[in-house]
Amino acid sequence: MAYENKSALQAGLIIAGFDATEGGAVYAVPLGGTLVKTPFSIGGSGSAYITALCDKTWREGMTEEECRAFVIKSVAHAMARDGSSGGCIRTVTINKDGVKRTFTAGDEIPTLEMRPQVVA
Contact 101, 109 (CB under 8 A): no
Mean pLDDT for the stretch of residues 81-100? 89
pTM for this model (two decimals): 0.79
115: pLDDT strictly greater than 70: no
Is it the case that residue 54 has pLDDT exceeding 90? yes
Q: Is the pLDDT of residue 42 over 60?
A: yes
Cα 84 from chain centroid?
15
Instruction: Give, for 89, the enclosing helix (H) or strand (E).
Output: strand 89-95
Average pLDDT of span 70-87: 89
